[in-house]
C-alpha cells in the first residue's frame, strides 16, 4: 500500500475548508494553488531575482500580467496591491493561454536599479 502525506502551509482556509496545500503519495505530488496564491509565489520569485540583480520590487517601472482567464484578474488584486501598491508601475494585463493548463498567471516586470528610491 502506498503511503500518503498531507502538507499544510498553516493557512486558516485549509482547516476551515478541509484541504491540504500538497498531497504526496508514492512518487506523485499534488499541489493546490489558486490564482492569487500563484501570483504571490510569482512575486516572491521576482523579488528574489531582483535582489540577486541588485534591485528590488520598488525599482519596478513596468509590469505585464498574462492570464488565461480574464475573470481571474480581480482575484489577484489584493496580492498585486500588496506588492505594487506603493510602487505603482505602468501595467498591462493580457489574456492569453500559458504553457501548462495549471498555470494561472505569468508576471513579467521591467526594473531600473535605484529608481525606487526616487521621489514618487
Domains, the chain, ordered by start:
1-32 (no CATH), 35-117 (3.30.1330.40)
Mean local confidence (pLDDT), 106-117: 90
Q: Range with the lowest mean pLDDT among 1-5, 43-47, 74-78? A: 1-5
Higher pLDDT, 120 or 68: 68
pLDDT of residue 106: 93
pLDDT at 111 over 80: yes
pLDDT band at 118 (very low <50, low <70, confident <90, very high): low
Q: Which tens digits make up the pLDDT trace of 31-61?
A: 667 899 899 989 998 999 999 999 999 999 9
CA neighbours closer than 13 Å in the CB half-sphere of residue 46: 24
What's this model's pTM, rounded to 2 decimal places? 0.72
Report the C-alpha gap between 49 and 59 in whole angstroms: 12
Counting every residue written for the chain, the total comes to 120
Q: What angle do CA 43, 48, 52 make, to 5 degrees?
A: 145
Query: Which residue, 61, 106, 65, is CA-closest to 88?
Result: 61
Amino acid at each position: 500500500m502506498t503511503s500518503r502525506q498531507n502538507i499544510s502551509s498553516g493557512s486558516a482556509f485549509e482547516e476551515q475548508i478541509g484541504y491540504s496545500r500538497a498531497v504526496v503519495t508514492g512518487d506523485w505530488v499534488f499541489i493546490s494553488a489558486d490564482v492569487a496564491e500563484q501570483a504571490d509565489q510569482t512575486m516572491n520569485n521576482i523579488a528574489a531575482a531582483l535582489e540577486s540583480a541588485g534591485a528590488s520590487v520598488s525599482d519596478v517601472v513596468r509590469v505585464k500580467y498574462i492570464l488565461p482567464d480574464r475573470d481571474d484578474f480581480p482575484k489577484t488584486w489584493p496580492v498585486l496591491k500588496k506588492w505594487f501598491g506603493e510602487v505603482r508601475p505602468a501595467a498591462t494585463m493580457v489574456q492569453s493561454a500559458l504553457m501548462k493548463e495549471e498555470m494561472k498567471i505569468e508576471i513579467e516586470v521591467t526594473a531600473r536599479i535605484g529608481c525606487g528610491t526616487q521621489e514618487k
